Every structure is written in structure tokens, then in C-alpha cells.
Structure 1
Amino acid sequence: MSEQAVPAAELAELLSAERLETYRRQAPEWGCSPIELYLHGARLASSHHHDLSIVEVVLRNALHDQLSQVYGPRWWAEGQLLDDRGQEAIAKAHKDVGEHPVGRIIAALPMGFWIHLLGHGDYAGRRPFRERRSYDALLWRPALRHAFPHSSGVRDEVHRLARRVYALRNRIAHCEPIIGGVRVPGTKTRRSPDEIHEDLVTLVWWISPPVGKWLAAQSYTPALLGGPHQSQ
């Protein structure tokens, strides 16, 4: 269906005035109507989602590969490795898929699990036997830093970038607007749509420059960044 054929009035009523308010505020900046901007935002989200389908799999496989080299293919079974949050995610994955091959378990773990592995870690066990799981010592230094050979090698920097990518993924998954950017976790700062695209490419480039370069070249996103009229 062409954009001219969209029943704008009816669609606006079904989307609700509250949902369209963001697009009404930003439409003049983009030089289009709120409905046109809403549809363009949906196309932009779809393009980001296409790239995320590559980024998420590349990320989790890179982390799994490095952990497997140090702790074996079922590295999560190491009792002194993961904090409570990590162990709960593993338990849920096993509950969902059962005792299947490693690949099925890895695929069942949500993106948030992998992002958490890049963090500082938290506590595991019950009081009075709770112990801190330092992911810097247990995961990053022996294993995960090698998943990002083209980064600075600073865990916090990799984690911040991965969290920004995860924030984008969550907004898209919940059909939230991204046309005005995505808030950086823990701040009031927003990353613009073009900066979001740069984050996706950078995260993959830190793992593999050839794949990062390919992702940038094949992405539909740059053609959409100019606005609804330039992308038609």
C-alpha cells in the first residue's frame, strides 16, 4: 500500500492521541505530518530490528565461544561463576527447552543475560553464605575481553555500548518511539537515530571489523535517516 493510500484520519484515531503526541511534536522538524512520521518511525524501527537480528546473535556467540574456551561448552554449570541473576536465567532456559544440545540453551537465553555478563556482577547464594561474583575477574579478564579484540579492552566501555544497544532493542520490542532517539541507560541523554545505528555497527566491529563493515554497508538504516520524503 502506498503512503498516499493510508487512511490517515482513521489510523490516527486507532493509534490514539496520546501515542501520536510524540510525533506531533517532532513532525515540523522532519517536515511531514504526524502520521507520516509515525510510519517512517516504524520503518526505521524495522531497519534497526533487521540489524539487531545480526548483532544479538553475533554478540552471544562471541561471548559463548570465549567462555567455552576457558570453562568448557557448558560453562554456566561452573558453580562459582554466575551470580543469582545469571543462574536464574540459566534455570529458566533449561526449563523452557530441557536438556537439549548446548546451542538450544544458548539460543534460549535472552539478550539481557549476555549484557549482564559484561557488567560487574552481583551476589550469589543465600545468607549467611552469599558471595560476590566479580565478573571482571571471573568472566572479563580470562575470557570475554577476547570477544572484543578491536575495542579498547575496557570492560565498562564495552558494557555501556552493549547497554545502549539493549535499550534500543527493548524500545523496538515494545513498539515505543525511536524517531526522537533512545535514552542512554542511567542518564537523561538520548542517542539520535544515526548514533543508534553507529552503536550497532561499532559493537559488531569491535568483535569483527569485516562483519561490522558489512553490516554498515547492507543496513537499510542510512537511507531512512534523512526522513520520510528522502527515503521514498
Structure 2
Amino acid sequence: MTSTNQTPSSGEARTATIIARLSEPRLGPYLAAAGGNHKDALRLYGWNIDLSGAVYEALHVFEVVLRNALDQQLCTWNATQSDATTGLPHARDWLMDPSRLLKRLLRDDLEKATKRATTALRGSGRAPGHPDVLTQLTFGTWRFLLPDRDPGRRLLWDQALRHGFPHLSVQPRDLVAQVDGVYRLRNRVAHLEPLLAQGAVRAEYNAMRHVLAAIDPTIEQWFTSRQRITAALRARPV
């Protein structure tokens, strides 16, 4: 008598095991995009990993260049400010000797970055300096230094930060929107979220290009020549 029960193939068993380990809720967006096909959903999941990696690689350039452009202007501007108590000028090192406005805008960020830098240097026998604290500031620090309705941020833009974008061809609000979009994409990647909306990812890639070109066209060209985002977008399997 022939049994009607069929043993799952090794491939099916493997797929079932992977899905169980990743979990159905985790794969939900990929299953929806794949029309309920589990194998295609896993292929999309793997593609999402590749695309997230490509975005993160791009951020290695974008965030560092943006940070350095703003840091340079803040150093120059901080040295033009006087201490409200002593009347003496502040140092160029705005991280070690921030002006009153920077203290107001960045107090929590500076304290947290200094603590992280101190922890990173534990056992080295030296206190954190400007480069150490600078590298511990988050992308959010730079995003929220840009102009908005706050008079202090508008003043800082007018007197200092706008000079970090000598090739800017759009309104400041458009630049802020571009940086904000990249900031939000960065957070999605950091939280391992799906990047299935290809048009949104492409838009933020273009935003990276526009911001970098506003800082220095040479760095934008170099960035574009080595990025993997566009190739990863084209490689979507489903």
C-alpha cells in the first residue's frame, strides 16, 4: 500500500527552518512583496541585506564629509564669539570651549559624545581631544544643527554653516530636507528595516549626491564613482 504522505524535500525543509528562525512577522513585508511566495520572500530579504550594506557604505562618505564641512565652519565661527562672563574670545575648538549658543543647542549631544570618547580612550593615558569627541557625535547632531524656526539655528546658519556649502544651488530648506531624508534612511538601515520602496532609496541617494556636490563637486564625483546603491537597486530579484 502506497502512503500519500510526502516527506518535504531538503530545500523545502531548509526554507522552512530559515523562515522559522527569522519569524513570519519579520518576513511579513517581504512575503507581501513576493505575493506570499516564501522562497521569493527570502530572496528579497537577502537583497535587502545587500542594499542596506550599500547604503551604509555610502553613509561612510556622506556623514563624514558633512560632519567635517560643518565642523570647519563651527571652528571658525566659535573663535569670533566672546564669553558672556569674561568677555574673552572663545577658542576655535568649539567642542572643548563652546560658545553660549552652541551650549544651548548641543548641551546633551556634547556631554554624551564626551562621555563616549572618554570611555573609548580608557587606559590610553590621555583625555579626549577635539577629534575624539567629534567622531562620537551622531548624525542627528548635524541634522538638527541646520536651520529651522529656532532663531539660534538660523543665526548659526547665516553666520557660519552656510559657508560649508559654497556650491549650494537650492534654498536652505531644500538642503535641510535632503539631509533629513538621508538621516531617516540611515535610521531605517540601522534598525534593520525593509528598504522595499526602491524609489525612496533612489531619492535619498540623489539627496546624498546633491548635498555632497554643494560641499565640493570633486567629492560628489568620487562618491558617485564608487557607490553600490544603484547596482543593488537594479539587482532586486522580485
Q: Tell me which interval the TM-score lies in, with the shorter structure as reference length.
A: 0.7 to 0.9
Once the 2 structures are TM-superposed, how far is the Cα of residue 111 of structure 1 from its aligned partner?
Answer: 0.9
Q: CA deviation at 1:9?
A: 2.4
Q: How many residues align?
A: 203
Shift of 1:82: 2.5
Q: CA deviation at 1:153?
A: 5.7
Are the aligned partners of 2:48 and 2:194 in contact in 1 as well (CA < 8 Å)?
A: yes
What's the CA shift for 1:180?
A: 1.9
Counterpart residue number, 1:20: 27
Supply the distance in 2 between the matched residues of 1:205 and 1:86 (Cα, whole angstroms).
27
- In the alignment, what sits opposite 1:56? 63
Q: Which has the higher contact order (CA 8 A, sep 6+)?
A: 2
Superposition deviation, residue 78 in structure 1: 3.4
Aligned match of 2:136: 108
| 1:78-227 matched pairs, under 5 angstroms | 78-82=98-102, 84=104, 86-98=106-118, 99-120=127-148, 122=150, 134-137=152-155, 139-152=156-169, 154-181=171-198, 192-227=200-235
**C-alpha contact 2:178 2:204 (8 A) present in aligned 1:** no
Residue equivalent to 1:185: none
Equivalent in the alignment of 1:74? 93
CA contact (8 A) 1:83 1:121 kept: no
Question: 1:83 offset after TM fit, Å?
Answer: 6.0
Whole-angstrom distance in 1 between the partners of 2:212 and 2:143: 14
Letter of the structure 2 residue corresponding to residue 145 of structure 1:
R
2: CA distance between counterparts of 1:115 and 1:10? 41
Contact 1:145–1:153 (8 Å) recurs in 2: no
Q: Equivalent residue of 2:43, what SS?
A: helix
Of the two, which has the highest radius of gyration? 2
Residue matched to 1:37: 44
| Preserved contact between residue 180 and residue 193 of structure 1 (Cα < 8 Å) | yes
Residues of 1 paired with 2:160 and 2:99: CA distance? Answer: 17
> Once the 2 structures are TM-superposed, how far is the Cα of residue 19 of structure 1 from its aligned partner?
1.5
Read off the aligned partner of 1:174 and give its amino acid letter.
Answer: H
Structure 2 CA distance for partners of 1:120 and 1:212, relative to 1, 3 Å: same
What is the rounded CA distance, in whole Å, between the counterparts of 1:224 and 1:198 in structure 2? 15
Gaps of 5+ in 1: 123-132, 182-190
Identity of aligned residues (%): 29
Q: Could you tell me whether the CA contact under 8 Å between 2:47 and 2:237 is conserved in 1?
A: no
TM-score by length of 1: 0.79
